[in-house]
Structure 1
Amino acid sequence: MPTPRVVIVGAGFAGYNVARLLERRLRRGQAQLKIIAPHGYSLYQPLLPEVAAGVLDPRSIAGPLHRMLRRTQLVPGKATGVDLAARTVEVDMIDGSVKAVPYDRLVLCPGSVTRTFDIPGLKEHAHGMKNLAEAVYMRDHVIAQLELASATDDAAERAARLGFLVVGGGYSGVETAANLHLLTLNAMRRFPRLDPDLLSWTLIDLAPRLLPELGERLGDVAMAKLRRRGIDIRLRVSLKSLTADSAEMTDGRVLPTRTVIWTAGVTPAPVVATLDRPTEKGRLVVGADLRLPGHPEVFALGDAAAVPDLARGDGAICPPTAQHATRQARAVAHNVAASLTGREPRPYHHRDLGMVVDLGGPQAVARPLGVPLTGVPAQAVTRGYHLSTVPSLRAKARVMGDWLLHSLAGDDLIRLGFLDTRTGRQVDLEHSVPDQDARVSGSRSAGKDSARRGDRVTHAG
């Protein structure tokens, strides 16, 4: 009997952990393990804002798959389609060729891309904060704006270059605004020609509250801390249009800016839509055992799957968070191994561990196990959580060393040259397509997704 082929699509929290755990659960010869990923690393996305702010080196949050996985073969490419009948995954390899990868068990966890909308100028002028390239590019871009503002004598240009707008009041948007604001605030001392009062940071969100996942009290605490630091937070406001040097809000105000960072939600990777299976908000509908109905050989988790939330009940689905992706990986690894060894699968059931939000410097807000924390204690919990979940001992050591070095020496404000070779557009740095929403909404996906697709704009930042 041929050795079963287990193919994992994606190397994020979910994919990497599934591969790691399967290596432990399955003996040599029980299965061939392959992981499809465009890069040879597993990225720890929650710390991207600290990379953009120069607190962490980019390599510190990128765990090398070649070192961390011993028996899993890396297929360097991007999954672009799944043929359920033929049991193959179509992969665009990094050299431009196309390869069909056969499977006996398929684990789908390709992650997500930034969700965008038909806002004039958004795709041409906004930047994302979803991957390492975007974080490194954003650091170069922000430092360049300070340098160019210092070099110009045009008041309007200077105001636009010193104006920064973050769209989205969730975890990613708040941490991005908080960390990059500190970077610019500290950097202004290096530019004597610039008036610190001209520095402008604005955070907008269509929701009535900031960080609603944290609860009303901690969300208000975070908002108060950021406002005292100088960040203008505007709720129930979204972006109406964007040009190269200005942004118009839905409340009629126009902000001079050359920097708009879009963090208003994510949508599953386009490969999910090629399965022609029922979806919920773009995510594949799966059972509590994380299997695709009608295809017990296919498992989906993380941002790609609408997994029943058994802890909440009433038809709720698990939110697409790193915490859920990591835990779902354990359940999927168990169930894949069980399917190969004749054992029973188990459902995914979780207990919420809470949430942590880094506000830059010594400031943070956290709710570990339901206990609200702010300030230094919250920052200690936040950094402790990140250290416990960053993949590999090497990455943990790098992160700790970077934190220590930055606290002692500060920032060197060095640009790495990304502005010379990249457009900086979200669609380019995430390797997605400009009309991704149209492609997904026009795909063959069925179920509730088609009815709800048009409502997504109401949740934009």
Structure 2
Amino acid sequence: MQYSGKPRILILGGNFAGLTTARFIREQCGKDVNITVIDRKPYLLFVPNIPIEVFANRNPQNALHMPIEHVLFDDGIDFIQAEVKAIDVETSQVEYVSVERPGSSLEHIEYDYLVVALGARLAYDKIEGFGEYGSTLSDTYYGNRLRRYLHEGGYKGGPIVIGSSRFHQGTKGKPDWLPNALAACEGPPLEIGLSLGAWLEDHKLGGPNKITLFTPAPVIAEDAGEEIVAKFLEMAGNMGYNYVNKTEDIKRLTADGIEFTNGKSLEAEIKIVLPDWQPHSFMKDLPIVDEEGFVITDLTMRNPDYPRIFAAGDAAALTVPKLGTLGDMQARIVALQIAKDLGKVSAEKADEPFRPTVICMGDMGRDKGFYIHSDVWYGGKTSIMKMGHMIFALKLAFKEMYYRTGGKPSRWGLPLTELLIEHLT
């Protein structure tokens, strides 16, 4: 394909998948492309470490908002702080409204390549009673609200429930090997449950026996694989945790507890819930998405009907569960694919397909962490779970590395972490 000027690459979203994609496209294509990132906020929200900050009584807003404007500027990448309103795949245009100050008018921008990395809409507004009675740790606002409740005398010592709403996964374009997930991502409930159980003991407010973990699925964290889940449930049961499965979905939250659509309920003072992950409303009915609104791609993260449109991260239909490491894998694939189109890398280098693997590091409290590396849910044979202080230290170290590199960790960063954990712990 010939261009009258430099190819215009537009990336929608500036969190993990979007920022990583932008920076690796620049690395692969050099100065021969124009790159623009659009996001409604000028910072990356480092979601994985929110529980660590909250249970340590630190406001997560102070440590987990990584500014991205200067990082992009240093790479020669334009940034527009705006809310995306529409995508026209026929005219190759995106409509947006600047959100720096209220009252901005609708504008549009054209592209030669489009990368949809908008993440997902966390549908807390679909959970009846959440605003008044719910808690969560999916962003720093809600994290800080829970921190104050726990550390400033609000908590009265009552029972606690932690779990997920039902996730609605699309089927259009779904490959046969990709399982159906009933929860978007259940690493966070495990992490929150383990670290909160330790926090209760340390503050002499009880322990794991006050906590009930719940899931809409037959088993919690099913994407980790049967062997790992069985080990976790045995460990959690021995520690005193309560467990409820097959809840179907959350019906409502009340002052006294939580009600499920299967007709059952649990008493709870604190209701920590993860919502349904939904695509942004303007994505629905586009010709590039499934029936839910997630972008359909092949294993090179390219839409089969519009080959200059890619997706990475939670906005992609192949990202199941909605896990950061999957978004990182996809971002690197997208960068190589665009570089291949522009003659920068060979097809042999670029066409390595997406092979999903669940890799997760979580906090357990008391400076310990757990590590999961598994691909059995996708038909593979890897199934590793480990725990220890070194894993917690590596979780903290990854955040520092990510900040220091401005969202472009070295290619050996994650493999080295896996090597250290799997062979030295």
Structure-1 residue corresponding to 2:384: 372
The letter for the 1-side match of 2:220 is: L
Structure-2 residue corresponding to 1:336: 338
1:155-189 deviation per Cα after TM superposition (whole angstroms, max 9, x unaligned): xxx46xx332212381111112222343344334x
**370, 391, 397: which is aligned to 1:387?**
397
Unaligned 5+ runs, structure 2 = 165-182, 375-381, 408-425
Query: Is residue 217 of structure 2 the alignment partner of residue 215 of structure 1?
Result: no
Query: Is residue 94 of structure 2 the alignment partner of residue 89 of structure 1?
Result: yes
Displacement after TM superposition at 1:212 (Å): 2.1
Q: Distance in 1 between matches of 2:406 and 2:56?
A: 16
Query: Is residue 284 of structure 2 the alignment partner of residue 282 of structure 1?
Result: no
Query: Is residue 83 of structure 2 the alignment partner of residue 73 of structure 1?
Result: no
Q: Report if aligned partners of 1:35, 1:72 keep a CA contact under 8 Å in 2.
A: yes
The letter for the 1-side match of 2:43 is: Y
Q: Report if aligned partners of 1:167, 1:239 keep a CA contact under 8 Å in 2.
A: no
**168, 177, 180: which is aligned to 2:193?**
177
Q: Secondary structure of the equivalent of 1:391? A: helix
**44, 48, 51: which is aligned to 1:49?**
51
Equivalences, count: 365
Displacement after TM superposition at 1:254 (Å): 4.2
Q: Report if aligned partners of 2:43, 2:65 keep a CA contact under 8 Å in 1.
A: yes
Q: Distance in 1 between matches of 2:331 and 2:264?
A: 45
1:129–1:294 CA distance, 2 compared to 1 (3 A): same
Higher relative contact order (CA 8 A, sep 6+): 1
**146, 153, 164: which is aligned to 2:160?**
164
Structure-2 residue corresponding to 1:233: 243
Displacement after TM superposition at 1:363 (Å): 4.3
Alignment root-mean-square deviation, CA: 3.3
Q: Secondary structure of the equivalent of 1:287? A: coil
Query: Is residue 310 of structure 2 the alignment partner of residue 295 of structure 1?
Result: no
1:87–1:13 CA distance, 2 compared to 1 (3 A): same
Structure-2 residue corresponding to 1:247: 258
Structure-1 residue corresponding to 2:115: 107
Q: Report if aligned partners of 1:363, 1:374 keep a CA contact under 8 Å in 2.
A: no
Displacement after TM superposition at 1:329 (Å): 0.8
Q: Distance in 2 between matches of 1:356 and 1:148?
A: 30
The letter for the 2-side match of 1:90 is: E
1:391–1:362 CA distance, 2 compared to 1 (3 A): closer
**26, 37, 40: which is aligned to 1:23?**
26
1:195-226 deviation per Cα after TM superposition (whole angstroms, max 9, x unaligned): 64899332211323232223334323333444
Query: Is residue 141 of structure 2 the alignment partner of residue 137 of structure 1?
Result: no
Q: Secondary structure of the equivalent of 2:284? A: helix
Q: Report if aligned partners of 2:372, 2:384 keep a CA contact under 8 Å in 1.
A: yes
Structure-2 residue corresponding to 1:439: none
Displacement after TM superposition at 1:349 (Å): 3.0
Unaligned 5+ runs, structure 1 = 150-157, 189-194, 308-316, 397-461
Q: Distance in 2 between matches of 1:322 and 1:5?
A: 26
Displacement after TM superposition at 1:341 (Å): 4.0
Q: Report if aligned partners of 2:128, 2:251 keep a CA contact under 8 Å in 1.
A: yes
Q: Distance in 1 between matches of 2:56 and 2:286?
A: 40
Q: Distance in 2 between matches of 1:113 and 1:130?
A: 11
Q: Secondary structure of the equivalent of 2:203? A: helix
The letter for the 1-side match of 2:222 is: P
Q: Distance in 1 between matches of 2:213 and 2:356?
A: 31
Q: Distance in 2 between matches of 1:92 and 1:44?
A: 25
Q: Secondary structure of the equivalent of 1:34? A: strand
Q: Distance in 1 between matches of 2:147 and 2:406?
A: 21
Q: Distance in 1 between matches of 2:393 and 2:292?
A: 32
Q: Distance in 1 between matches of 2:98 and 2:239?
A: 46
Q: Distance in 1 between matches of 2:328 and 2:207?
A: 43
The letter for the 2-side match of 1:333 is: A
Q: Secondary structure of the equivalent of 1:299? A: strand
Q: Distance in 1 between matches of 2:363 and 2:283?
A: 31
Displacement after TM superposition at 1:16 (Å): 0.7
Q: Distance in 2 between matches of 1:211 and 1:275?
A: 31
The letter for the 2-side match of 1:52 is: V
1:3-51 deviation per Cα after TM superposition (whole angstroms, max 9, x unaligned): 33211111122111111112222233x2221111122222332222223
Q: Secondary structure of the equivalent of 1:348? A: coil
**102, 126, 129: which is aligned to 1:121?**
129
Percent identity for Structure 1 against Structure 2: 19
The letter for the 2-side match of 1:335 is: Q
Choose between structure 1 and 2: higher helix proportion: 1
Q: Distance in 2 between matches of 1:54 and 1:63?
A: 20
**245, 268, 284: which is aligned to 1:273?**
284
**322, 325, 339: which is aligned to 2:324?**
322
